[in-house]
C-alpha cells in the first residue's frame, strides 16, 4: 500500500488553528498518516508572510521527513512578493498557498499573474483555497489556470460547500493543470464527485485542526476505499512535488 | 433522545400520492434518531411545487407516528400569496415552522415581504429556519438584522454560518436572543468554538439528511460526539432544546 499524505494542515498558534507540531504528529499517528503538508496560519497568510514562511520552514526542518513545508505570499505585495516566494522556495518550501478571501483579492482578476507565472517557472504547485465567498470560486480558479497552463493548481476544498453546484461543470472543463483537494468536501459529495473526474485528479487533505484527520480518513475510505484509489491518498500529490525543480 | 433538526423531504424523490414515511425513515431509524424536523426541498427550487409539497410533507409527517415534524415553506417575495400559503399551513396543518432558503428561492432577507412572513410566524408562535452561511442573501448577519426587527419571532441559523461565516454566526447569536443555531455545516474546530461562546440552550443539531440516498447522519453526529461534551450538554442540544423550541 502506498503512503498517506495529508495535503493541508495548519499547525498554528491562534484562533481555530492552535496546534503544536507534536500534537499534529500525534494526530497523524492516530490516523495512520505518514506525511503532511504544513501551511502558515491565517494571519501569516494575510499579512505576516515572511514570519509565517520561516516558522513553517523551521518546523519542517526540526521534524524531518514527516512535514512538507508550504509557503504563502500576498499577491498585493507585487514584485516584493515574488521575492518572498522565491526565497521561501530556495529555503525548501514545496507549495505556494493563496487564500484570496484572507488576502483580500479576487482570484478572477489579473493581480496574481506574475506570481503564478513564477510558480510555473519554478515548478511549484499552487494551492488555492476556494469557498462560498465571491473572492475565490472554482470558476474563478479555472480562469487563472487556463491562463497559466504550465503552472500546477490545486483547487482547495472544491468550493465547499455551496459552489458544489458548479463542480460538475468545473470537472468537465478543467484543464490538465488542475487537481482537486477534497478537505471540507463532505463524504457523501465525494460519492458523486468521484464519478466526474479521474482518480488521478483528487488529493486527500484533512485541513487539520479544523477537521479531525482520523474521522475524515475513515469517511473518505467508505466512499473511495484506499485499496481502490491509493493515488488519492498520496501519490497524486507526490507527483506534483516531483515536478518541482528545487 | 435524539432530535434531528435539519432534514429534507422532497416530493420529487417521493412522488407517490400517499407518501409513506417508512422508507424515508430507514436511515434516521438506523442511527437511533427519535424525531426529525422535516423541511421541504423540491419547492425551494420550483415554487410551482410549493403547495403540493407542503401538503405532502404534512401528510407524510402525520403518518409517521409523531417521529417526523413538518415545516412548510413559502416564497416571501410573492407577497400576498406567500402570506396566504403560510396561513393555510398554520391553519390547516398546524405546521411547526417555516423553512426559507434565500438564495435557492431568490429571496432577500431584509425586505418588507420577509417582514410580513416574520410577523405571521411570530403571531403563530412558530420559528423560521434559514439556510445561512452564503453570500449575498444568506449571511448570518443579514438574518440577524431581520431578527432585530422581529424580536418576538424565533429564527434558526440552519447551518450556523457553514465553513466560513461561523464566527459571524457566533456574533449574531450572542447579540440577538431570538436567534437559535443548528450545528449542521461548520467543521470540528468551529463547532468547538460555537459550543464555548454561544448560549448552549439555543443550540440544536441537524444532519441535512434527505438529499437522494446519501446518509450524512453518522458523520454529522460524529462531529458532535468528538467534542466530548458532558452528557448534560449533549442532552440539551439533541433533546431538550429542540423540545423547548417546538413545545414538544
Ligand atoms: Zn438543508
Decide if A246 is inside a domain: no
- Cβ contact (<8 Å) for A188 and B216? yes
Strand order through the sheet with B3-8: B3-8, B35-39, B68-70
CATH class (in words) of the domain with range B3-246: alpha beta
Mean residue pLDDT of chain B comes to: 96
Q: What value does the mean pLDDT take over residues B31-57?
A: 97
Reference A246, options A130, A163, A145, A124; nearest CA is: A124
Query: Any idea how long chain A is?
Result: 246
**What is the C-alpha to C-alpha distance for residues A124 and A119, in angstroms, rounded to an integer?**
5
What ipTM describes this predicted complex?
Answer: 0.88
- A-chain CB neighbours of B223 within 8 Å are 215
Strand order through the sheet with B98-100: B72-73, B98-100, B128-130, B155-157, B179-183, B203-205
Testing the interface with B: which of A102, A156, A185, A212 to mutate, by most B Cβ within 10 A?
Answer: A212
Per-residue confidence band for B26, with pLDDT thresholds at 50, 70 and 90: very high
CB pairs under 8 A between A and B: 59
Q: What is the pLDDT of residue A193?
A: 97
- Cβ contact (<8 Å) for A210 and B223? no
Distance from CA of B215 to the nearest CA of A (A): 7
**What is the C-alpha to C-alpha distance for residues A42 and A103, in angstroms, rounded to an integer?**
9
Q: What is the pLDDT of residue A17?
A: 98
Q: What is the pLDDT of residue A190?
A: 95
- A-chain CB neighbours of B193 within 8 Å are 16
- Using CA atoms of B189, A51, A134, A241 in order, give the dihedral in degrees to the nearest 10: -90
Q: Tell me: cis bond preceding A27? Omega within 30 of 0 counts.
A: no
Neighbours of ion ligand 1 (CB under 5 A): B 208
Question: What is the number of structural domains in chain A?
Answer: 1
Q: What is the pLDDT of residue A245?
A: 47
Domain boundaries, chain B: 3-246
Looking at chain B from residue 81 to 140, which residues have their Cβ under 8 Å from any Cβ of chain A?
103, 133-136
- Residue A26: which domain range? 5-241
Query: Does B216 lie at the interface with A, CB-CB under 8 angstroms?
Result: yes
**What is the C-alpha to C-alpha distance for residues B104 and B47, in angstroms, rounded to an integer?**
10
pTM score, whole prediction: 0.93
Decide if A37 is inside a domain: yes
Low-confidence residues of chain A: pLDDT under 50: 245-246
Q: Is the pLDDT of residue B84 over 90?
A: yes
Distance from CA of B188 to the nearest CA of A (A): 5
Q: What is the pLDDT of residue B20?
A: 86
Q: Is the pLDDT of residue B151 over 50?
A: yes
Q: Grid coordinates standing for B156?
A: 434558526
Domain of residue A143, CATH code: 3.20.20.140
Q: What is the pLDDT of residue A244?
A: 57
Instruction: Identify the three-state secondary structure at position A117.
Output: helix
- B-chain CB neighbours of A99 within 8 Å are none
Testing the interface with A: which of B102, B134, B189 to mutate, by most A Cβ within 10 A?
Answer: B189
Q: What is the pLDDT of residue A197?
A: 97
Phi and psi at residue A47, to the nearest 5°: -130, -25
**Which residues, including other chains, have CB under 8 Å from residue A29's CB and lie 6 or more apart?**
none
pLDDT digits (tens, 9 = 90+) for B211-228: 988 999 999 999 999 999
Amino acid at each position: 500500500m502506498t503512503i498517506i499524505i495529508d495535503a493541508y494542515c495548519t499547525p498554528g498558534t491562534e484562533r481555530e488553528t492552535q496546534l503544536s507540531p507534536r500534537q499534529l504528529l500525534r494526530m497523524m499517528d492516530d490516523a495512520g498518516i505518514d506525511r503532511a503538508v504544513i501551511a502558515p496560519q491565517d494571519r501569516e497568510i494575510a499579512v505576516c508572510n515572511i514570519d509565517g514562511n520561516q516558522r513553517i520552514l523551521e518546523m519542517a526542518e526540526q521534524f524531518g521527513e514527516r512535514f512538507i513545508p508550504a509557503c504563502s505570499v500576498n499577491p498585493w505585495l507585487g514584485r516584493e512578493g515574488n521575492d518572498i516566494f522565491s526565497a521561501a522556495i530556495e529555503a525548501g518550501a514545496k507549495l505556494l498557498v493563496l487564500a484570496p478571501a484572507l488576502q483580500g483579492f479576487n482570484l478572477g482578476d489579473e493581480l496574481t499573474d506574475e506570481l503564478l507565472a513564477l510558480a510555473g517557472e519554478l515548478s511549484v504547485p499552487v494551492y488555492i483555497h476556494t469557498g462560498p465567498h465571491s473572492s475565490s470560486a472554482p470558476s474563478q480558479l479555472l480562469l487563472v489556470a487556463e491562463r497559466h497552463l504550465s503552472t500546477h493548481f490545486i483547487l482547495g476544498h472544491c468550493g465547499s460547500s455551496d459552489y458544489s453546484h458548479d463542480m460538475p461543470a468545473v470537472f468537465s472543463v478543467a484543464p490538465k493543470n488542475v487537481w482537486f483537494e477534497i478537505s471540507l468536501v463532505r463524504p457523501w459529495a465525494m460519492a458523486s464527485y468521484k464519478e466526474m473526474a479521474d482518480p488521478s485528479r483528487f488529493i486527500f487533505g484533512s485541513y487539520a485542526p479544523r477537521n479531525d484527520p482520523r474521522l475524515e480518513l475513515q469517511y473518505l475510505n467508505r466512499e473511495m476505499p484506499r485499496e481502490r484509489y491509493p493515488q488519492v491518498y498520496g501519490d497524486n500529490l507526490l507527483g506534483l512535488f516531483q515536478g518541482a525543480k528545487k | 433522545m435524539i432530535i434531528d433538526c435539519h432534514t429534507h423531504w422532497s416530493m420529487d424523490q417521493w412522488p407517490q400520492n400517499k407518501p409513506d414515511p417508512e422508507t424515508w425513515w430507514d436511515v434516521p431509524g438506523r442511527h437511533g434518531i427519535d424525531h426529525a424536523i422535516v423541511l421541504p426541498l423540491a419547492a425551494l427550487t420550483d415554487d410551482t411545487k410549493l403547495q403540493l409539497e407542503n401538503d405532502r410533507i404534512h401528510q407524510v409527517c402525520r403518518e409517521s407516528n409523531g417521529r417526523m415534524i413538518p415545516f412548510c415553506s413559502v416564497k416571501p417575495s410573492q407577497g400576498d400569496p406567500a402570506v396566504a400559503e403560510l396561513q393555510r399551513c398554520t391553519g390547516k396543518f398546524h405546521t411547526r415552522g417555516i423553512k426559507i432558503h434565500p438564495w435557492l428561492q431568490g429571496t432577500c432577507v431584509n425586505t418588507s415581504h420577509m417582514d410580513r412572513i416574520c410577523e405571521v410566524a411570530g403571531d403563530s408562535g412558530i420559528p423560521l429556519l434559514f439556510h445561512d452561511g452564503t453570500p449575498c442573501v444568506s449571511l448570518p448577519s443579514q438574518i440577524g438584522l431581520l431578527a432585530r426587527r422581529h424580536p418576538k419571532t424565533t429564527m434558526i441559523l440552519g447551518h450556523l454560518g457553514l465553513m466560513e461565516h461561523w464566527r459571524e454566526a457566533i456574533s449574531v447569536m450572542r447579540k440577538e436572543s431570538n436567534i437559535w443555531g443548528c450545528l449542521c455545516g461548520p467543521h470540528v474546530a468551529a463547532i468547538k468554538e460555537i459550543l464555548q461562546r454561544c448560549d448552549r440552550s439555543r443550540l440544536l443539531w441537524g444532519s441535512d439528511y434527505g438529499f437522494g440516498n446519501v446518509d450524512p447522519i453518522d458523520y454529522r453526529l460524529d462531529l458532535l460526539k468528538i467534542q466530548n461534551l458532558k452528557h448534560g450538554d449533549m442532552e440539551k442540544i439533541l433533546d431538550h432544546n429542540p423540545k423547548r423550541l417546538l413545545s414538544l
